[in-house]
Structure 1
Amino acid sequence: MCVSPENRRFLPGVPPVLLQGGAALRDVLAAPDGTDGRVQVCDGWSVAAMATLCVVDGPGDAGCVTPAALSEAETGAAADRARAVRDAGGALVVPLEGPLTEEQGRQGIPLLHDGRARGGFVRALG
């Protein structure tokens, strides 16, 4: 499945965050257990972030592709995000129900602790 550019946001931080609106991954990633305030690791999942695209791969047929850079001007920022994912050993992948809103696009980890999202930390491929 391909996640459209308007339904994805990359947020800086440690770990970096990949928000996906309307993502089919919402149905296959577990709801986080926010009782202790920590983010769960999504075992069996991997993320490969590159300057041109980001691939989230899960068990079986689960997974998606997200464009990272849509123009030559965005390539530098996308390469920085890919490096951040590699340096952090992965990314926080947060699929949301419905289209990604501007408000959600400014959030990240808080979405996992208030019941609005699913997902968790996905280890980097390689």
Structure 2
Amino acid sequence: MTKTVMIVDDSASLRQVVKMALTGAGYNVIEAGDGKAALALLDGRQVNMVVCDVNMPNMNGIEFVKEAKKLAAYKFMPILMLTTESQESKKEEGKAAGAKAWMVKPFSPTQLVSAVGKLCA
């Protein structure tokens, strides 16, 4: 069964890079430009995992994780933060919100696909 990954990032070019890596590895991909748009996509559809930026307009990644975890259907969905933020304090904040993993940009698409594979398993 094909797994669906949602990419949440305000950079369209970054979403494109991630999408190419994941579709190339056989995943379905849906995209959102910020946390608010991403939450609207959590409408009961099958989303196996989210790859999410931290710094975005309207609703940042950590706020998104907190809100997504309140939705019963998505409570246990793994969320990977993909961000330029590398401070421990931000990582702790992400973990506390419910993020499963943290990857710092720039990243290698191979690394990302491998991380997604582990988290989606």
TM-score (norm 1): 0.26
Structure with more relative contact order (C-alpha pairs < 8 Å, separation 6 or more)? 1
Q: Which structure shows the higher helix fraction?
A: 2
Normalized per residue, the structure richer in strand is 1
TM, length-normalised to structure 2: 0.27
